[in-house]
Amino acid sequence: MVKKKQVLSLTINKELVEFEYPSQVAIMQRVVDAARLHHRVLIKYQKLDGKEPQWRSVAPYKYKSEYASGGGILYAEQGGRIKSFALYQIDAAESTEDMFEPQWPVEL
């Protein structure tokens, strides 16, 4: 008997996006909800260098499914610098009450 792979999905910017793991859906839902309210998000990010994960405050703008493996979140640092995080390296996400003023359209 062939076991069917469970497909988890979330609507992001009017598109149905599929995820491999339930934790990815939960993280993206928090990010999307906060972004739509223009709230900053704290993400716990695991760098590839093996060091301890770090918490970062980000202003999320966009999700790109073709980013790295499994998609990524684009955000702007203070000062207007654009950065991105690979979703598979985000261990946790928490919405904050800190607002950000969008410099570009929020596409989440």
Question: How much is the pLDDT for 63?
Answer: 84
Domain ranges of the chain: 19-99
Q: Which CATH architecture has domain 19-99?
A: Roll (2.30)
Question: How much is the pLDDT for 69?
Answer: 57
Alpha helices in the chain (DSSP H): 22-36
Question: How much is the pLDDT for 34?
Answer: 94
Give 11's pLDDT tier (boundaries 50, 70, 90).
confident
User: What residues contact residue 94 under an 8 Å CB cut-off, 6+ apart?
Assistant: 30, 41, 42
Q: Which residues pair with 90 in a beta bridge?
A: 45
Q: Tell me: the pLDDT tens digits for 27-75? A: 999 999 999 999 999 999 888 787 888 898 999 988 887 665 567 777 7
**Torsion, CA 14, CA 17, CA 22, CA 23, rounded to 10:** -80
Is the Cβ–Cβ distance between 19 and 8 less than 8 Å? yes
Answer whether residue 98 shows pLDDT above 90.
yes
